[in-house]
Amino acid sequence: MHRPRPHTEPDKRALRQGFLLVRSRLTAGDAEETEAALVARALELPELAQARTVAAYVSMGSEPGTRALLDALHARGVRVLLPALMADNDLDWGAYDGEGSLIRVQHRGKIALLEPAGKHLGPDAVLSADAVLLPGLAVDARGMRLGRGGGSYDRVLARLERAGADPALVVLLYDSEVVDRVPEEPHDRPVHAVVTPSGVRRFHRRP
């Protein structure tokens, strides 16, 4: 008997549009206030306080700000790895050495991204990370993350799983983006913690 496929991806698209619309209404002042609170909360995380290497990302547009967090980690002597988007949507990685180590790269059909200007270390460089900061639009009560739909971080998570690597997976969000449930597909993986301006919420790791 043929069973109709679940409408997970259309459901995800609708949710993404809603969260992006809310973000688009944020002011510059909202973003600055949120970033300051996020840095304070994130630096309290033992997973980041004890990390020697953190794979992170440069926030763009209305995303919860990461720039101050990158600088704070770097100032602590943490090795910070930042992604460089490849043609197949996979991610290469390079070291962050302050704002001057970033260049703006225009990808075909995509917005310009700030990426590490120095030597690229290859997609497997993320395997050395003690913690990985993931971008997202929402996370639910199970720790399931709703991403933007490009698939880049699904590849990162799959690479970590194949290698048996077990870094702390942390997503930075606005308070309103922690919800009861988001649609889940077989390739989706839960995060271990979400940081919002009002606090940190942890999720149980799967065995």
pTM of the model: 0.90
User: Which pLDDT does position 9 carry in this prediction?
Assistant: 64
Residue with tokens 């197949």: 88
Distance CA 95, CA 74 (A): 10
User: Which pLDDT does position 186 carry in this prediction?
Assistant: 83
> Please, which pLDDT band fits residue 184 given cuts at 50, 70 and 90?
confident
User: Which pLDDT does position 27 carry in this prediction?
Assistant: 87
Other beta carbons less than 10 A from residue 169's beta carbon = 26
Half-sphere exposure for 30 (CA within 13 Å, toward CB): 12
For the chain, which residues make up each domain, given as ranges? 28-202
Superfamily of domain 28-202: NagB/RpiA/CoA transferase-like (3.40.50.10420)
> Please, which pLDDT band fits residue 5 given cuts at 50, 70 and 90?
very low
